[in-house]
Amino acid sequence: MTTKFAKVPISALPLPPPSHILTHNLTPDPNEPTPSDFIHNVLQNRPSIQRRARLLPGEAHFTYVSPMPLEFPYQVPPIPPSETDTVDKAAYIEKWLRAHEATIPAETSPSPNGLTKWVSQVRDEKRVLVGLSETCLRDCLPHLDVGDAFAVLGRPALVPSSSDSNSEIGAEAGEEARVGDLGQDADTSPAARVRQELVDVLSGHAVLMSADGQGYAPWSLRYSGHQFGSWAGQLGDGRAMSILSTLHPVERGVTYELQLKGAGRTPFSRTADGLAVLRSSIREFLCSEAMHALSIPTTRSLSLVYLPELPVIRERIERACIFTRVAESFIRIGNFEALSPPTKMFFFGGGQQDADYDASRILGEYIVKKVLKLETVNVDAGDAWGKVLVFEVTRRNARMVAAWQAYGFMHGVINTDNVSIMGLTIDYGPYAFMDVFDPYHICNHSDSEGRYAYMHQPNMIVYACRALLNALAPLIGAEISLGNKAVKQGWAADVSSDTFQSWRTTALEETQSEMERILQETCAVEYNHLLRKRLALRLKVDTDQSAIFQPLLDMMERQRLDFHGTFRKLSGFRRGMVRDGEERGGRTHDLGAFVGGLLQGTPEPDQLDYARATEEWLEWLENYADRIDREASEWAGEPDYDAARERAVKAANPRFVLRQWLLEEVIKKVETDPMTGRRVLAKVMEMACSPFEPWGAEGDDTPDSALDPEIREERRYCGMGEKRLLGFQCSCSS
C-alpha cells in the first residue's frame, strides 16, 4: 500500500518536535543564546561576531550563524577620505555586514511551521540550479515540493539527442533565458515560484528563521580533532551551516537535517573564506548518492546551486557553488574531542578550550537518546551509557570501513573530525574509487606519507574510535565507580586530578581492548559478507578469506587488473568451463576465452606475462568452481543455477563507477557551460544511482560506431578512461 502525504515547499516543511531539534537540546554559544537574540541583536547590531574566527566558550556545542556567501576578504568600500577622522571604523564594518545579512522579512506572515523567510538588503547574486537528486528526495524528503525544478534542469543526457523535439529545446532555452543575469525567474506560475524558493533557500539567498517561542535559526557545530595524526584544536563547521531539520513523513521518529556547504564564513572558518567551488561540490554531490547506491553508509546529496559571479581563489580562480547535503545527524567524533581534549598537547592551530565535562555529558545523553536511539540503555532511569555509545559508534564505523574496502573506496582524509558518530561516510574531499587494484594507493596528493592509503583505512578508523574513547574515558570511569550508573549534572566539579586519572585509567583498561575487538570482528564479518556477495557465495566458509578473496586480490595486484571490472566480468564464469575441460582432459575454448577477457582488464598489456597470468587464473578458477560446488544446495530453487549466479554477481558489482577521469570530464563540462553541462551531470547521477544496470549495451558486441550516440557515450563512461588518469591523486582544495 502506498502512503500518501502532501508535498509542501521548502519553507513549509514540518519541523520536528523541540525534543528532536539539536539547537533545543544542546548548548548554544552564550554570545548568541537564542534565535531571537541572534535575529534581533546579532544580525542587526554586531553581525561580525558570526564572521570572525574565534574560540567559542568551553560549554558551547554550536553557534547560530546565517548563510552569507561572499568573496573573502570582504570587499568593503573604503571610508571616504573626508570622513576617516569622524567615522567609527568598527561601526562602519558592522553596517556593511548588516546590509548583506538576512535581516529583512521577505513575507508578512510565517509558514505553517512558524518559520519566516529573511533576505538581505543588497545581496541578489546570480544563482543557477545545476543539480537536484531524485534519490535523496525519494528517500529523505519525499514531502518536499520542488516545483518545476526537474523540468528546468532538462532531460538527463550525455549527448544531445536527435529525438529532442524543437519544442523541448525551445522550452529549455526559454527557461534558461528567463533565469536571466540575476538567476531569478520571471515566470510567476505556482511551480516556478516553488522552485525559485527552493533555489533561494538552498543558495543561502533566503534564510528560514523564527524568533517566536523557542525560536529557530541555522547553526554550525563546534568540534576539534586530530588531522593527519596531529592534534589541531578547535576546528568546527568552517563553511557548513545546518539550515533546517524536518520529520520524515513515513518513517516514525526519523528526522533529517539539511546542511549547506560553502555558504560563507562562520566562527570556525579560521583564515578560510567559508566557500566551496563548483569542482569539489560536483564531486561530493555525485559520490554521496553513488555510495548510497552501493549500500555504503553515507550522508546524502540534495542539490547544487552555482554562483557564477562569486570568485573563489584556490590553486586557480574558480567559481562558487553551494552544495546541500542531508543526514539524520552531522555530529562527529571531533565534537566529543572538543569538550574533552587531550592534555599536554602542543599543536599549531587556532587554539583549544579547556575541557568542559558537563558539556560532554549533555552531548552524549542527546546522542544516545535522540540520534543513535539506543534502546539497550535508559538514560532517564540512570543507566550508564558511555561504553554503550563508544561500542555502537565503533560498530557503525567498522561496518562503514568494511564497505569501503570491499568496494575499493578511498576517503583520502580520515581525520577524527571527519568520522561520523553515526558511521556515515562524511566530508568527501580527495576521494577515489579503485581503478587498477593497488592496496597501497594514496588518493590524496597531500598525504605524502600514505597515512590514509587504501590498506590503512581500517587502522585509521581504529585510531578515530580510540580518540572517541579517550574523550569519554573520564566519564566512563566515573560511571564504573558509580556501579555502572550514569553521571549527573556537575559530575566533574571539584574532582581531583588524581581521581580523574584513576577514572581514565579504569575506563581504558576495561573498555579499549573490547572496543578494538568489536571493531576488528565487525569489520571482518562485514567485509567477508560483502566479498561473498560480490562473488555470489551464500555459505559462510571460514577459509574464504585465505583461499578465495586474498588470492583474487593478489592476482589483481600482480597483473594490474581493474578492480571493479574484474569482479563484474566474473559474472560470466560457468562451472562447466572448468568441469567440461576436466572431463575431456584439457582446457575448454570457453575457459581460455574467459581468462583472456579477464586479462583485458589491464591498462598495461605489454607488461603482462600472459602465460603466467593465465596459469594463475586457471588455478584460482578451479578453486572458485570447487567453492561454488559446495553450495549447490543453496541455489536448489533456481532452475538455472549459473544464470541465477550471474544475476547475483551483476547485482552486487557495479557496471558504472565514478572514476577520476570521468569526474574531471563532467566537472569541465559543467564549468564550461552550466546550462548544458547540468544535463550531463544529471545523466551521470542517474547512472551512479543505478550502477548495476547494463549501461552502454553491456554484453552487446555491436561496434561503438554503430551504436546510438547516447548508448555509445554510456559505454565510454563505463570504461577505464585514459591511462594517465588511472590512480589520479586529487587535491584537498575545495
Q: Which positions are annotated as active-site residues?
A: 417
Residue 245 near residue 16 (C-beta atoms within 8 A): yes
Angle at 434 between CA 235 and CA 436, to 5 degrees: 145
Residue with cell 547553526: 219
CA distances from 332 to 270, 285, 299, 352, 480 (A): 19, 20, 12, 17, 25
Nearest to 363 by CA among 336, 403, 401: 336
User: Residue 93: is it exposed, middle or buried by C-beta count within 10 angstroms (0-12/13-18/19+)?
Assistant: middle
Tell me if 432 sits within 8 A of 442, measured CB to CB. Answer: no
Angle at 726 between CA 404 and CA 443, to 5 degrees: 45
Q: Which residues pair with 425 in a beta bridge?
A: 298
Largest CA distance in the chain: 101
Phi-psi region for residue 678, left (φ > 0), alpha (ψ -120 to 50) or beta?
alpha
> Which of 494-518 are b and which e, b meaning 16 or more Cβ less than 10 Å from the residue's Cβ?
eeeeeebebbbebbbeebbeebeeb
- Answer whether 184's CB lies under 8 Å from 124's CB: yes
- CB crowding 526-555: b at 16 or more within 10 Å, else e: bbbbbbbbbbbbeeeeeebeebbbebbbeb
User: Which letter, b or e, does each residue of 572-600 get, where b requires 16 or more Cβ atoms within 10 Å of its Cβ?
Assistant: bbbbebbebbeeeeebbebbeebbeebbe
